[in-house]
């Protein structure tokens, strides 16, 4: 079968049902979905949580035990954190000039500060960050010089979450922890794995598509949301079935370039749910096989927020390495226009009519189509 015939076939399958994929466990040697792997921090974490070496996507490229010996700019640590505006990590590629679509299974943790055994985002990479803490989740959205974290200039990126068609996650074996939820004392003292496992029973596997966290990277912007494991409505609030709609829909926000702020906020309306003339409807993202998304029947608005406290970035990010020169001068300037052109909120452009950030429209297009059809 030619590659294009293969992808058409895959897309046709993709159009039918995501259940087909979620049941696809390629290796009986490691049948446990990533969302069902739970480890106490730090002692319970194995070297690699994904020991599936024979699977179609290959082995986990990094590791999960991360410490001072793994903390450097070549770290392959895949254990990530979302704690505070000065202490969170993004998933980004291990090699320079990569698209998210081509490397979604391999992303490594890039954190705002040392101490987690990971890479550290270079100084100045973050260009504006809004953290909103709501009753049930923490959302972080912002602008980034993505070339500083190895994302190719102009790449619109995609969604990273603990699923994927083979249930091994994107990245494969990626773990997420937080010390910030009230259910955990909220005292920075101990880490809680951010994962929704109580509702994730096999007979309800479709519901498990609703994530407890996701992050979108690309388009010189990012957003992520982690739902409180002890909170309400995680299924709707940290949903990942709208992966082609980007931050504007999945994490409505008021992030601005040059502003670093922490706000309190209400929970957003679940993605896809909207009201017209008093009637509530739910929009579902169409399958990729139907082509680019040209219209969505509603425009999201950020939920009300208040008590925003702004910080100087120099006060928040004090221990970051110097930026890598080449990327700063060449890559970033060409790409930045995309993010700044969208106005204040992180809502990467709907290029060519497609609402993006969930789909790579750049060099990674072929890769991401393949990956989403087969593996996402
Ligand atoms: C530090 O992390 C590396 C890589 O995961 C691991 O091999 C090593 O045992 C760890 N060291 C300690 C002291 O935990
Ligand atoms: C990044 O990769 C693209 C495609 O391979 C290439 O055209 C471009 O020159 C590369 N950019 C940098 C800064 O290496
Ligand atoms: C937790 O850490 C953040 C900074 O990372 C700090 O602002 C906050 O006061 C800390 N909370 C407690 C209860 O120590």
Number of domain units in the chain:
1
Per-residue pLDDT reduced to its tens digit, 152-192:
998 888 778 887 778 888 899 999 998 888 766 656 668 88
Per-residue pLDDT reduced to its tens digit, 282-295:
999 888 888 888 88
Residue nearest to atom 4 of ligand 3 (CA): 84
Token code pair at residue 258: 């040059």
Alpha carbon 331 to chain centroid, angstroms? 22
Per-residue pLDDT reduced to its tens digit, 123-140:
999 999 999 999 988 899
Token code pair at residue 133: 């803490």
Q: Which atom of ligand 3 is nearest to the CA of 86?
A: 5
Task: List, in sequence order, the alpha helices (H) in 54-154.
Answer: 100-103
Q: Which atom of ligand 2 is nearest to the CA of 326?
A: 13
Closest by CA to 361, choosing from 292, 297, 296, is 292
3-state secondary structure of 104: coil
d(CA 297, CA 292): 15
Which residues surround ligand 2 with Cβ inside 6 Å? 97, 152, 330-331, 363
Q: Is 98 exposed, middle or buried (0-12, 13-18, 19+ CB in 10 A)?
A: buried
d(CA 132, CA 137): 8
Enter the DSSP assignment of 302.
Answer: P
Q: Mean pLDDT over residues 108-137, rounded?
A: 96
3-state secondary structure of 287: coil
- Which is higher by pLDDT, 78 or 344? 78
d(CA 299, CA 295): 10
How remote is the CA of residue 363 from the centroid of ligand 2, in Å? 10
* Range(s) of the domain holding residue 323: 3-373
Ligand 1 neighbourhood includes 118 CB (under 6 angstroms): no
Closest by CA to 157, choosing from 315, 320, 363, is 363
Q: Quickly tell me which residue has 């393949």 as its tokens.
A: 370
Q: Which atom of ligand 2 is nearest to the CA of 147?
A: 13
221-227 sheet: strands from edge to edge: 158-160, 213-218, 221-227, 137-144, 126-133, 260-265, 305-311
Enter the DSSP assignment of 69.
Answer: G
Residues 172, 63 contacting (CB under 8 angstroms): no
Ligand 2: which of 93, 95, 96, 97 to mutate, judged by most atoms within 8 Å of the beta carbon? Answer: 97
Per-residue pLDDT reduced to its tens digit, 301-325:
999 999 999 999 999 999 999 998 6
Residue nearest to atom 12 of ligand 2 (CA): 97
* C-beta pairs of 279-283 under 8 Å, 24+ apart in sequence: none
Task: List, in sequence order, the alpha helices (H) in 108-207.
Answer: none
Per-residue pLDDT reduced to its tens digit, 217-235:
667 888 888 888 778 887 7
How high is the pLDDT of residue 365?
25
Residue nearest to atom 8 of ligand 2 (CA): 97
């Amino acid at each position: 079968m030619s590659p294009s015939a293969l992808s058409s076939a895959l897309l046709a399958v993709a159009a039918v049902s995501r259940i087909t994929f979620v049941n696809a466990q390629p290796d009986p040697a490691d049948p446990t979905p990533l969302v069902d792997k739970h480890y106490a921090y730090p002692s319970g974490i194995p070297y690699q949580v994904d020991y599936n070496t024979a699977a179609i996507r290959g082995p986990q490229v990094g590791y999960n035990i991360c410490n001072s010996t793994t903390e450097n700019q070549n770290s392959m640590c895949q254990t990530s954190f979302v704690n505070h505006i000065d202490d969170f990590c993004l998933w980004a590629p291990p090699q320079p000039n990569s698209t998210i679509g081509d490397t979604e299974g391999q992303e490594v943790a890039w954190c705002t500060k040392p101490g987690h055994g990971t890479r550290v985002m270079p100084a100045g990479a973050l260009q504006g960050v809004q953290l909103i803490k709501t009753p049930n989740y923490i959302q972080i959205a912002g602008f980034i010089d993505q070339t500083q974290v190895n994302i190719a200039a102009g790449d619109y990126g995609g969604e990273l979450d603990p699923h994927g068609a083979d249930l091994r996650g994107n990245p494969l074996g990626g773990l997420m922890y937080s010390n910030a939820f009230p259910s955990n004392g909220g005292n920075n003292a101990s880490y809680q794995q951010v994962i929704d496992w109580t509702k994730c029973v096999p007979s309800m596997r479709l519901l498990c598509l609703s994530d407890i966290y996701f992050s979108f990277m690309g388009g010189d912007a990012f957003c992520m949301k982690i739902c409180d494991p002890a909170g309400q409505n995680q299924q709707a609030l940290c949903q990942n079935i709208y992966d082609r709609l980007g931050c504007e829909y999945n994490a409505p926000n008021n992030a601005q370039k040059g502003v670093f702020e922490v706000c309190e906020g209400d929970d957003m309306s679940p993605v896809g749910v909207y009201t017209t003339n008093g009637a509530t409807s739910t929009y579902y993202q169409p399958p990729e096989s139907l082509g680019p998304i040209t219209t969505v029947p509603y425009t999201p608005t950020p939920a009300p927020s208040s008590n925003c406290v702004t910080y100087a970035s120099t006060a928040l990010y004090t221990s970051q390495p110097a930026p890598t020169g080449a990327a700063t001068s060449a890559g970033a300037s060409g790409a930045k226009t995309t993010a700044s052109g969208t106005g204040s909120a992180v809502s990467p452009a709907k290029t060519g009519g497609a609402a993006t950030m969930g789909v790579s429209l750049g060099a990674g297009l072929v890769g991401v189509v393949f990956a989403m059809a087969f593996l996402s």
